[in-house]
Amino acid sequence: MINLSKIQSSKPIQELLEFCIINVDKPAGYTSFDVADKIRRIFGARKSGHFGTLDPMVTGVLPVALNRACKLSGYFMHKDKIYIGKMHIHKEINIEKLKEEMKKFIGKIKQMPPVKSAVKRQLRERRVNKFEILEINGKTADFIADVEAGTYIRKLVSDLGDKIGGAHMTELRRIKAGIFDIKNSSAVSNIENVLDKCKEGNEELLRDILIPAEIISEILPAYQIKPDNLKQVLTGKPLTKQDFIKIPKEEIFCAFLENRFIGVYRNVDEGDVLARAEFVLN
């Protein structure tokens, strides 16, 4: 079991900044790239990257990786997302009828990406885990949607509207992206204030914001390796069965030496060679 709390509390701040993720509460009116770049500039980082684009007017959870943690983005991005939002319903409708129509979108659906999207416009299959009304007031309905990554919520509401006489989304907020929750997010202004306090000698608030990228152990299975060949392993040496305390069976996994993250590996099972590195933190 990887002790993330110990890593977060004991790693030097500069080492945390080199390999960390910040759970940002994205404000309206900015692109996801704008926010990630702002975080980069705040910390004077070499690079930054976000885990999953939000439209400029959409707010909420936007995990931003700094420096070497950017290399892990592909492992974090393709996870389910949860949103809350508002929709305007164009015609009067019985609430029970509305709920029944929304239930029909649960499960596998086909979506055509919007005209203004970065992907090819062709039908794509996506999974909807939950699509429910939270509250309704006249023609305004608050809803929650728990969906597979890559699902367009605006299109989901529009497609519902086709069944009920018209509806369009008016507000949207992402409250969860994979393991990142809005309850543990920080506004950009708060991040700036916390950094100022750190410069005055108070590190603790900053440590609370800098999530060690070792949290990948909550995304991928983590296996312990032996210390014998550490120098060679850190230069990219493939891992053999003898390197492990317990042999991994999964296709993709991460390797640790106690609480020290070594890298992400792919199981190849080539005789004595068990795994080859996809990313090594050296």
Q: Would you mind telling me the total number of residues written for the chain in this entry?
A: 282
DSSP helix/strand/coil, 45: coil
Q: Whole-angstrom distance between the N-terminal and C-terminal Cα of the chain?
A: 21
E strand spans, the chain? 19-26, 48-50, 59-67, 81-89, 107-111, 124-137, 140-147, 167-177, 180-181, 211-212, 222-224, 239-240, 252-257, 260-270, 273-280
| CB-neighbour burial class of residue 239 (10 A; exposed 0-12, middle 13-18, buried 19+) | buried
Phi, psi of 254 (to 5 degrees): -115, 150
Say how far apart CA 104 and CA 107 lie, in whole Å: 8
What are the DSSP calls for 111-163, one per residue?
Answer: EPPPSS-SS--S-EEEEEEEEEEEEEETTEEEEEEEE-TT--HHHHHHHHHHH
CA distance 159 to 34: 30
Instruction: Identify whether 55 is a catalytic site residue.
Output: yes
Alpha-carbon distances of 252 from 223, 225, 248, 266, rounded to whole Å: 11, 15, 9, 5
> Which of 55, 80, 142, 159 is the catalytic position?
55
Among the listed residues 142, 209, 195, 174, the one whose alpha carbon sits nearest the alpha carbon of residue 28:
174
Question: Which residues are annotated as catalytic?
Answer: 55
